[in-house]
Amino acid sequence: MKTLKAALAVIFGLLIVREIVLWTTPPAELRGETRILTTLGSIDWTRASHGEVRIVLNNADTLYRAAIDPRLSLRLALLDAKSSGKMLALRVYLDRARFNTRENRAEYWVESLTYEGKTYGRFPLPAPGREASVTSGIGSLLRGIALEDAELHVEAERELGTAISTGGLSGRRLALALRTRGNAREYQAYPHGGDVNDRDDQLLVNARDDYRRATTLDPDDRRNFLGEGRTLDKLGAYAESLAQQDEILRRWPAELFRVQIRRSLTYRLMGDYPAALRTLDDLVTEHGPQPSMMYHYHRGRTLAGLKDYRGAVSEFSAGLEDQPDYFWAYAKRACAYGNLGEIAKGLTDLRRARELWNDYSKGSSAAESQQKVLAAVDASIREFEAAMRPNPHPIDARACGDSDATPQRAERKRSRLLDPPATQPLPRTVES
């Protein structure tokens, strides 16, 4: 018994020493070129203290730091962005960053930020402190995360591959590198729809493998599971995706909202819109009204799939009350208006969507991808304008199709690159 107590005391002491070391050891710092990248998002949290503003967007892996004692105008802009959920653009230094070991988080210095058309900055870049230089593996990890946040997926995959291959990463750091590379691979596949093909499916299979490896290393991070679930949906492995959603809910009951949204999307991808709608309605029946854009957007997409375009318009409108600058809600509401023959209203939404996307993409690091979306919106605008002459009539614009699948074709067949399914095919809802 005394031996056991002594052993426990030693272990407890070592844990305390480890925490002290983590608190007192400054993170190693990346010091190199000053290439600037742009990342977009809405604010998760922000705070200002000691002459510095810290911002976390809707990406829990990354913290952005601006070395400035913010003026009232900037403080008000950040508060408004946080409360409204509106997007802002951060321009960050690629090679002035550090890795926070305690939080397993990358931190980057901000050069300037833009919110609602107004730019704040240029913020000063602090001189290098007493931090040591990072190892090659951590340096590649930091660059890879920044590149992925800026939607430069090909560059990010290459840099993260270097980080992983060095052998210098382990545990949660390696899991973070794998999850981020999985994301980079996933979003290279079928970026704008298209026909099923082995090249894009292989990217998705590789992404799924990265997410699985990350889960092995860090089984308590639900984002690894969520990433794998997305790839299963895109590969047509719907039964496995739904089974995984059940597992996430079993392990993380607090994730009910996100899981139900994901489940409704899986049913939509299967072409089973009644089941998708029931899933969303069950969420309200059991837990009350869901005022967020995420809920209303997905319900709007589901109703559009059921050709209830008036209901879809109502849902997108409700979502825009929560997040008034969400580009995709305007684009999809325009589609619903088009199908109702209300072309003028649809044009108004498309032009607003174009305005928003143009603001988002100014100075974007991923200019080519941003321009492709803008070109698709412009094509829809031209088609809506043509539908106004000589008399308005319902329209199903090419860029407003209701299919949810990626590639854009409902209920794609299971990818031939996957192993045979371990579960039985799911029953389909039969409408009376």
Residue-level pLDDT at 176:
95
Q: Rounded distance, CA 117 to CA 363, Å? A: 12
Q: pTM of the full predicted structure?
A: 0.85
Residue 431 has pLDDT above 50, yes or no: no
CB atoms near residue 160 (< 10 Å): 28
332-354 per-position pLDDT tens digit: 999 999 999 899 999 999 999 99
Listed range (79-88, 202-211, 224-233) with the worst mean pLDDT: 79-88
CB atoms near residue 104 (< 10 Å): 16
Architecture per CATH, domain 168-400, reads as Alpha Horseshoe (1.25)
Mean pLDDT of the chain: 84
pLDDT > 70: percent of the chain = 82
For 314-376, give the DSSP string.
HHHHHHHHH-TT-HHHHHHHHHHHHHHT-HHHHHHHHHHHHHHHHHHHTT-TTHHHHHHHHHH
Q: 383 vs 20, which has greater pLDDT?
A: 383
pLDDT > 90: percent of the chain = 52
Where in the sequence of the chain do the CATH 2.40.50 domains occur?
29-125
Residue 131 has pLDDT above 70, yes or no: no
Residues 6+ apart with CB under 8 A from 188: 153, 154, 157, 200, 203
- Ranked by mean pLDDT, the top range of 46-55, 183-192, 206-215 is 206-215
What CATH code is assigned to 29-125? 2.40.50
Q: What are the tokens at 188? A: 């290279």
Q: 26 vs 365, which has greater pLDDT?
A: 365
Question: 276: exposed, middle or buried (C-beta count within 10 Å: 0-12, 13-18, 19+)?
Answer: buried
What residue ranges in 76-207 does DSSP mark as E strands? 88-100, 105-115, 118-121
Average pLDDT over residues 316-327: 92
Residue-level pLDDT at 15:
45
Where in the sequence of the chain do the CATH 1.25.40.10 domains occur?
168-400
Residue-level pLDDT at 136:
83
Q: Rounded distance, CA 16 to CA 310, Å? A: 60
Using DSSP bridges, classify how beta strands 62-66 and 88-100 pair: parallel, antiparallel or unpaired: unpaired
Residue-level pLDDT at 22:
39
- Ranked by mean pLDDT, the top range of 6-20, 203-217, 317-331, 369-383 is 203-217
